Structure 1
Amino acid sequence: MTDRPNASITPRLKQRLLFSRAATRVAMIAERFWPLVLPLVLIAGLFVSLSWFGVFALLPEGLRVALAAVFALGALAALWPLRFLRLPKAAEIDRRIEAVNRLEHNPLLTLDDRPSGARTPFGEALWREHQKRMAARLGRLDAAVPDARVPERDPWGLRAGVALLLFTSFAFSYGPLGGRLSDPFQPAAAREVIAPRIDAWVTPPPYTGKAPMFLTADANRGVSTFTVPQDSTLSLRVTGGSGEETLSYAPSGRDAQAIEPAKAASGEAGAAPAAGNVRQFAGALTEDGELLLHSGRQEIGRWGFSVTPDKPPVIRFAAEPKRAVNGTLELQYEIEDDYGAASARAGFEQAQAPAPNARPLYDEPEMTLNLPRRGSKANAAKTSKDLTEHVWAGSSIRLTLSATDDADQTAHSEAMTMVMPERSFTNPLARAVIEQRRLLGLDANARQRVLDLIDAVTLRPEDTFDSPTSYLALMSVRSRLRLAGSDDQLRDVVSYMWQVALGIEDGSLSDAEQRLRQAQQALQEALRNGASDEEISKLMQELRQAMNDFLREFAQRNQNRDNAQMPQDGQQMRQSDLDRMLDQIENLARSGNREQAEDLLSQLQDMMNNLQMAQPNQGQQGQQGEFSQQMNKLGEIMRRQQEMMNETFRMDQMQRGDDGQSGDGDRQDQGQQGQNDRNGQPGQGGMTPEELAEALKQLQEGQGQLQRDLQQLGKNLEGMGMQPNEGFGQADRSMGQAGESLGEGEGDRAVGHQGRALEALRQGARDMMQQLQAMMGEDGQQGQGGRQQNADRDPLGRPRATQGPDFGDSVKVPDEIDVQRARRILDEIRKRLGDALSPQVERRYLERLLEAK
C-alpha cells in the first residue's frame, strides 16, 4: 500500500508550523547560547567601563599591561563553555512547541507519524481520521520564548551592576578626564596628546615698514582672505597635538605644495608644561593661494592669502642736469616705488667712443643719488656732487639714472646728453696743466706728448711763471711723469697735477674748500647710515672748523679783488646765522629727525655753492633803508622769540623731570627726582624747584619786554605810513597769553602760544613787504632802478638776516613743537624696547622703526 499525503495538513497550517518551528528553534538556540556567553559579556563590559573611566590611562606602564593581560586571559577562559553548545533537533523543537501550547497526545508527532504493522484500508482510514482530529487541535500555535534561566546562574545580579557601570562610564568618557577604548593598547607617551595650540603670523619684508599680522588673533578669526606684501614670511607653530600635523600651500589653480617643518623641538620656552610637541613651519608667500593645516586626515586650519606684488621702481629726471656756480653737478629727479627705493645711482658714458688704441687710466665716475624720504608723499629728490676733479670733466657724456628697490628690481631713466661740468680756471698756466692732465688721464699712451707740452711750457720760465713755486711744482710733475712705470703711478701723477693746478689758481683756498666738502660728505654719510650721537657730534665739530677756515680764507681772497661789489642792496650773512643752522642740524639728528637734518645739510651745501659767486656790497640809502632797519628789528624780535620758545621748552622738560634720557631706568629716575624735590635738593638739570620757578619768572619778564618791543615796532611802522596787519595783532595776543602761561608755571601751553606768535610775526612780515613793494612801485620794474632778482638774498642764497626776518619759506627747519613731538615718540619707542615683557615680534618691529632710514 503506497503512502498518501496527509490531507489534514492544509497550506495554511503548513505555514503556521513552519513559522512556529523556526521561531522556536531560534529561541532554543538563544537560551542555550546566552548562559554560555554571559561570562564573556560581563568581562568585556567591565573592560570597557574601566577604559572609559580612564583607569588604564592613569596606571603605570607595567600595571597597565598586566591588567590588560588579566582581561585577555579571562576572555579566553570565558570562551571555553561554548564547546558544550548543541543545536536543537526537529523532535525537540516539536516537543517544545507542544509544551508551550499545552497540546496533549503529541499532535505534531501524529501529523508526521504513520501506523505500524500491516496496512489495511480500514486502518488507513481510521489513521487519517485520527490525524484530521489532531490537526484540528492545531488551530493556533505560539512560538517558544527563550528562557535561559540566568537568575538561577547569577543569583546576586552581578550582570545589572556591570550594565550600570557601563552606562555611567560611557557618559563619563565625554568629559575632560574621560578615557578611550584605545588606552589599554597605547603607550603612555602616545596617550598624552592634547588639543593643539596653533599660532600663525605673517611678517612682511622689513623694507615695507608694515607690522606683523597675526592670523590666529581673535580679531582675525572672521577674515577669510589676508592681503600681504610679496615675499612675506609665513610662520606657523603647533604646540601639543599628535605631532603628525602637516602644512601645505595651494597656489590659485595649482596643486597644494607641502611645507616641511623647520624643526621638531620639545619643551620650548612658551609651551605649556603638558605639551611637549612643538612643530614649526616657515615659508615665503609669493603668490595668491590658501594655507592648509591638517592633523592626519582632519583639517584643523585654513587661511587664504592675496599677495600684493612688489612693483618695480620708476625714476625720471625732474629737470635738466645743470652745473652749480662752483662747478658741481646738480641732478633733480623723481623716484616712485610702492615701498621706497633702496638705492639709486647715476651712470655715465662718454658720448664719443675713445680711440681704438686708447688706454684710459680711469673708469666712469660714480655718483650715488639721495633718496626721497620713506613714507613721504613727495617723491622728488636732489643730489649734487663735485666731479670736476674727474678726467671726464669737460667731455660730452650720456647720463642715465637707475634706481633699485629692496626686491632687487632695477629701473632706468632716459639718457641725457650733456657736457660734464668742469671747474673754471682763470689762470692760463692752471688751464694748461688741466688740459695736459685730461689728456694723460684719458689715454696713458699720450704720456710722451704730455712731457713735450710740459717742456714747451717750461722752456722760458721767466715769461711764463709768476712765482718760483709754480715752476718747481710743474717740474716736479715732469719728473714724476718721466719716472712712472705703471698705471698706478700714472694715476698718482694725474692726481698731483690737479693739486698743482689748484695751487696755481687759488693758492691755499683750495685746501680749505676740499676740507669743507669732505666734512659735509662725511656728515651726510653718517646721517644716512644711522651713526651714533657721539659720532654726529664729532663730525659736526669738524664741519664747523672746516667752514670757519673756508669763510676766513674766502674773505681774505675777496679783499684782494679790485672793484668787486655786490648789488646795491646786497648784504652778507652773519656768522651767527650759520652757527644757528649748524646747531639746528645737530639738534635734529639727536632728536631722531635725521631725514630732516640731511635735507637741511643739503640746503647748506647749496648755500656754500652760492657763496663763491657773492661779492662785497654797499649799504642801503633812502626810505627803503629806513624801512629795512625796522624790518631788521622785526627779525631780531622773531629771533628772540625763537630763542625764548626753545628756553621755555627746556624749562618745561626740567619741570616735568625729563632730562632727555629714556630707557628702563626712567621710573627709578623719576622717583629719585621726586624725592630730591621734596628734600629741596637739586633735581633734573641740577636746579631746585625754587630755581626753576625763578627761571620761569625771568622768562615771563622777557616775554613781556618782547611784547612791548613789538608794540613799539608797530608804532614806528605807522609813523612811516605803514599799516600793521592782523598778524601783528595776533602775535601781540599770543605773546600776552604766553606770558600768562609762564606766570602760572604751564610751560607746555606757553610753548604753544610762543609758536603761534612766531608764525603770526612771519605772516605780518610778509604783508609788510608787500605794502613796501606797492609803495615803492617795484612790481614790474625790476629792470629800471628796481632790485635785481637775487638782491634780497645773501651770499648763501637765503633771505638776508640783516635785512629783515626769515619768512620761513627758504630753509624749511622744523619748529620746536615738531622736534618735541618727535623726541617724545622716540622716547616712547625706547621705553617699550626696555620692557622685558614685550613680545619678541613687537620688539623686532620697534627695532626696525628705530633703524628705518
Structure 2
Amino acid sequence: MPDLPETVTRRLRLPLALTWVGILAERVARCFWPLWCLCAALLGGLMLGLQDALPLEFLWVLLVGSALAALGLAAWGAWRFRWPRRGEALARMDAMLPQRPLAALADRQAVGRGDAASEALWARHQSRMQEAAAGARSVQPDLRLSRRDPHGLRYIALLILAVAMLFGSAWRIGDVRDLRGTGAALAQGPVWEGWIEPPAYTGLPSLYLADQAEAFEVPEGSRITLRFYGELGALSLAETVSGRTEDLGAATDAEQSFALTQSGELRIDGPGGKGWVVAVRPDLAPQIALIPEEGRTSFDGQMQQVFKAVDDYGVTGGQAIIRLDMDAVERRYGLATAPEAREPIELTLPLPIAGDRAEFTETLVENLSQHPWAHLPVTMTLEAEDAAGQTGQSAAYEMPLPARRFFDPVAAAVIELRRDLLWSRDNGRRVAQVIRAISHAPEDKLFRPASAYLRLRFILRRLETAMESGTFTAERRDQIAEAMWELAVLIEDGDIGDALARMQQAQERLSEAMRNGANEDEIAELMQELRDATQDYLRQKMQQAQRDEDQGLDSPQQDRNAMELSQQDLQDMMDRIQELMEQGRMAEAQQALQEFQELMENLQMAERGQGGSEGQEAMEGLADTLREQQGLSDQAFRDLQEQFNPGANSGQSGQNEGRSGGEGRGQSHEGQGGRGEGSGQTPGSQQGQGEGQPSGQSDLAERQEALRRELERQRGNLPGGGSAADEATREALDRAGDAMEGAENALRNNDLAGAIDQQSQAMEALREGMRSLGEAMAERQNQQPGGQGETEGAAGQQRADPLGREPGFGRHTGTQDNLLQGEDVYRRARELLDEIRRRSGEGDRPEIERNYLERLLDRF
C-alpha cells in the first residue's frame, strides 16, 4: 500500500503498531498451537511424576517421540508462518472504517490535473477522507482456535498443566536429567516413594516425602505411606516415630503405612535411601472457661452464661454439666428429707455457625426455672471436645442455679412447696398440710386473681387423692408440679390493671377516712393498705418494663420524657402524709394526699400519651375487656364458694368496694348492665330466688353476653390488614369470643365451675390477642417514616437496616422480635447466614448493599 500523508501516518502510529502485533499473535497462535499443547502436556506429566510411573524403556520412547513430534510441529508451524507487513495492518484498520479512508488517502489524482475545479474537488475529497481516518482505532486480534482444534486438545493440555502445578512438584522435572546416568541403576536397582497425610481436620495439605528436608515437623496423627519398588529386600524401613509394638510387619514390605505418634527418626536403608528427623507437633486438648462476670439472668429466669473456648484446630462440640452441690444445700424444711436421685443437667454448648472455631466466645442461653434445683447451690462444669476426641474441662463454678424469682408471698410459697415435692415424694403429706393451711379461711384478696384459690384447692385435692390411692407416682408428681408452676406464675404476674385499681381504691378510702375523722388506728391501717397497694403497682410496672426490655421493645417516647420517680420518692411522700396525720394536721395531709393522687394520675396520663392512635385505642379497649372478664370470673368464683359454703362471703358485701365485677357496693361493669351502687349483696346470695336458675347467675350470664357482644364490636373495628400478626390477633379474639359464649351457656345452665374454666380460656385468648396486636402495631410502625416535627421518633418508626435491626435509643438496639426464643435458634441463624450469602452473590443488587453484606460475612 502506498505511503500515507505524514500527518495521517503520525496520528496512526500507535493504532497501527497495536494492530500489527495483533496480527502477529494470530499467526503465531494458529501456526504453533499444536507445539505448545504438546509441551504443556509433557511438562505437566513430568511434574506429576510420570517418569516414576513408567518403565524406563517406555519413558525413553515417550521422550524421544515427544522430541521428534515437537521438531515436526515446529517445522510445520514455521513453514506456515508469514511475517505480517505494514500494509496488512493498514488494510485491516481500513476495513473497519466506513468508505475505507486509508486506501483513499493513498490514492493519487489521475484525471483532471491542472484543472482548478477538479483539483479543488480532489482536495475536498482528501480532506473528508482525513477526517474519516481520524477515527481509526487498533483492531483486536482473533485468537480463537475452535475451527483448528475442534476436539479441544488445547484445553486438555492446559488442564494437565494446571493439575500438575497444584498437586505436583517442579523439582521432579529435574529427575529427567538423571535418566542417562541412572538408567541402568533404575532398571536393575530399587526405588521408593512416600507421602505424609496430616489428619483431615487440620486442613493441611499432603506432603511428598522425597521433597522434605532432613528435619521437618508434622501434626500428631499424620499418616506416612511408603512404597518400595524393585528387588524385594533391597530397601528396608527403620523408624521410631510410630511407637508400634504389636502387629509389626517386615521392614522390607513393599507397602507400609503407619501413624506418627511421637518425635523420632525415619530412615530408608538401601540404594537411594534417605533419613529424616521428624518432630511431631502434639494435638493439644481444647481449653474452655466460664466468664461469670458477663453472665446475667433475665426477668423470666432465662440464664445467659458466657464462655470462651480455644483449640489448636477447632472445637467440634461441648456441653455444660450442672450438678447439685449437696454440701452447700441448707437441709431444712422440705430439704431435710433425703432427695430422690436425679441425673446431672447436661446442656449442649452453642458453637459458631460459621467461621473459625479455634478461638471463640459464645453464650449459653437456657431457662431452668422449672427444674427442681432452681436457686439451689450447684456447680457448673464446661466440657469441650475437638476432632481428635480430646476433651478439655473448665474448673467447677459454684453458684445458685439461675431461675425466675417470685416476689408475691403466695406465689413464692407455692414455688417452695413445688420444690419440696420435686425434691422427694416423701414430702407429699407435708406439702398437702401446708397447702391446706394456706387455703384455709384465707384473708381478703390474698389470692389475686380469685380463681387462683380454686386452682390451689384443686391441686390439693389431686395430691391427697394420689397419696391416699397409692398412685402417687413420679409421673403424677410431675403433673402436679406443673400445675403448681402455672398457678405461681398466674399469681405472680397478676394484672397491672387490678394493681392500679387497688391503689386508686386505697387512695379513695384513705381520703374518705380523713374527711370523716376516723381514729388513728383506722387511718394507720388504711395508710398501710395504700403503701402495700402502691408497692404492688410499682412492682407490676417494673415487671412489665423488664418484660418489654427482654423482648426488645422500647418504651413510648412520652415515657422517656416523663418525670422519673424512684420508689424511695413515693415512699417519702407517703411518709410525709402519715407524719402530718399523726400530728393532727389533717388539712395538710389531705392536700398532700391530693398531690400524691395527681402525681400518679399524671404519670398514668404520660403512659397513655400515645393513646390517640387507632391501634392504641384498640389495645386499651381490649385491656378494659380483659379487666371486665376478670371481674366476671371473680364474681362467678364467689358465687361458687357461696354454693358450697353459704354465708362465707357475707362479710364482703356491705363494706368492701370494688370495680368491674368486684365485691360489695362498688362499681359494677360499666355499661354492662350492672346493678349499680349500693347493691349490698353479691349476686350469688340474693334472697327470694325461685326454682330454676338463680337470678344472680342469670345476671352474670347477661353481663357475659354483653361483654361478648362488645368484644365482637372491637374485633370488627380492629385496624390493620392482612399481616400475619393481624390474622393472629383476629384468631385469638375469635377464640376468646367462643370461650365467652361457652361461659355464657354454662352460667345459664348453673354450671359455675364450667363457666370459670371457659372464662379463664377467654382471658388467656384475650392476652394472646393483645400480644399479637402489639406486634402488628410494631410492624406497621416499622413500615412508616418518623412523624413530622419529631426529633427522634418512636423506635419502631425508624428505618431498619437490611437485617431488620432498628437504631432504637440508647442500648435498645435491634429487632423487636426476640431471636432467642424457641428451640430453633441455631437453625434460624444458619438460614440467616445462607440468605446473606445468597444476596451478596446477586450482581443486580446495588453495590453499597453488596459491600454491606460482604462486611457482615467478613468474620465468617
TM-score bucket of the superposed structures, by smaller chain: 0.3 to 0.5
By relative contact order (CA 8 Å, sep 6+), the higher-ranking structure is: 1
Give the greater-gyration-radius structure (CA): 1
What TM-score, normalized by structure 2, do the two folds share? 0.36
